[in-house]
């Protein structure tokens, strides 16, 4: 009997959507070998009360799945790429990223059609330091509330807690069939997405050449270049979930363009830069953009030490 290709995933509705989507992509590639999901509970799943920043931020949704790769319970880890730390994990490799989904941040409100319509002092819920800082940069009068939980939970809290609005990823709402709840897609000129937002990362063991060859067949090269550049920028800045950093990117005629922003946690300082280069050299593009941002003041104004 042929051993199945085992995909490690979280058990949330969005994570299961992503894992099943990847399974459907891979089944014709590995047929007649079966593809199975292995559900893994992460630290972030167990602790739904603490703020992500209070939990350390790094790997709270990914470390347990990576451990399952290392001990053989899974062959492929399916990650929301924005959750995957940029610090390399020994013996593991980000082998593929399929075509990217929507990258935007969605504004959801029952009483206000646009973010700019929010009255002074309105309360907005979000689980992201990046969103918090960028919202405060644009509207320092607003009250920000820490909002944890899966997509359905956060939508329910919009009503249960009497919030004026919440902000969450467009991709999650679209993938769960909840796009009709979106009031407005926020302008990326002022609220840049998280690094890797809307992308699904497929990780495997570095010495598993067979699985790497399988994953290469579902890799979108332009998406892979974009997220590599974004992640290289983030790594060079020394950032992660504890630092408000956003990025957006595009590829056109072999040219990769990345725009990045670094903010202070209170949103008062915002440093933005854009850089472009060849799509075939994404790491250089991201690292050079980080250098631009650091030269503009990100090193002292916004980014804590690497060990933080």
Contact at 8 Å (CB) between 89 and 66?
Answer: yes
- Sheet with 35-39: list strands edge to edge: 35-39, 5-9, 76-80, 200-205, 92-96
The 3-state DSSP class for residue 48 equals: coil
What is the Rg, in whole angstroms, of the alpha carbon atoms belonging to the chain?
19
Cis check: omega of the bond before 32, within 30 degrees of 0 = yes
The owner of tokens 């920000």 is 144
Which helix (H) or strand (E) element contains residue 77? strand 76-80
Catalytic residue among 75, 83, 105, 208: 83
Give the end-to-end CA distance of the chain in Å, rounded to a whole number.
Answer: 48
**DSSP tag of 2:** P
Cα separation, 265 vs 260, whole angstroms: 16
The 3-state DSSP class for residue 90 equals: coil
DSSP 119-185: PTT-EEEES-HHHHHHHHHH-TTSEEEE--S-HHHHHHHHHHTT-SEEEEEHHHHHHTT-GGG-SEE
Q: Catalytic residue at 83?
A: yes
Contact at 8 Å (CB) between 182 and 176?
Answer: no
Residues catalogued as catalytic = 83
């Amino acid at each position: 009997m042929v051993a199945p290709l085992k995909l490690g995933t979280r058990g949330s509705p969005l994570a299961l959507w992503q894992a099943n989507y990847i399974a459907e992509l891979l089944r014709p590639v590995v047929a007649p070998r079966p593809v199975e999901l292995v559900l893994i509970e992460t630290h972030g799943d167990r602790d739904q009360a603490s703020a992500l920043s209070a939990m350390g931020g790094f790997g709270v949704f990914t470390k347990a799945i990576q451990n399952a790769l290392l001990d053989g319970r899974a062959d492929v880890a399916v990650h929301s790429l924005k959750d995957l730390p940029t610090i390399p994990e020994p013996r593991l490799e980000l082998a593929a990223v399929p075509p990217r989904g929507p990258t935007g941040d969605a504004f959801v409100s029952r009483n206000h059609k646009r973010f700019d319509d929010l009255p002074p002092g309105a309360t907005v819920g979000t689980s992201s330091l990046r969103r918090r800082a960028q919202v405060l940069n644009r509207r320092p009068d607003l009250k920000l509330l820490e909002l944890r939980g899966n997509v359905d939970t956060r939508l329910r809290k919009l009503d249960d807690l009497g919030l004026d609005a919440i902000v969450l990823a467009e991709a999650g709402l679209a993938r769960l069939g909840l796009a009709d709840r979106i009031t407005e897609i926020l302008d990326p000129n002022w609220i840049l997405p998280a690094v890797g937002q809307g992308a699904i990362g497929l990780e495997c063991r570095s010495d598993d050449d067979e699985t790497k060859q399988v994953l290469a067949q579902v890799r979108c090269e332009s998406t892979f270049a974009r997220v590599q550049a974004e992640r290289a920028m983030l790594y060079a800045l020394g950032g992660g979930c504890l630092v408000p950093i956003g990025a957006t990117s595009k590829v056109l005629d072999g040219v990769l363009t990345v725009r990045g922003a670094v903010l202070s946690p209170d949103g008062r300082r915002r440093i933005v830069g854009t850089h472009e280069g060849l799509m075939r050299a994404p790491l250089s593009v991201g690292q050079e953009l980080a250098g631009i941002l650091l030269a503009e003041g990100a090193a002292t104004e916004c980014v804590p030490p690497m060990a933080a």
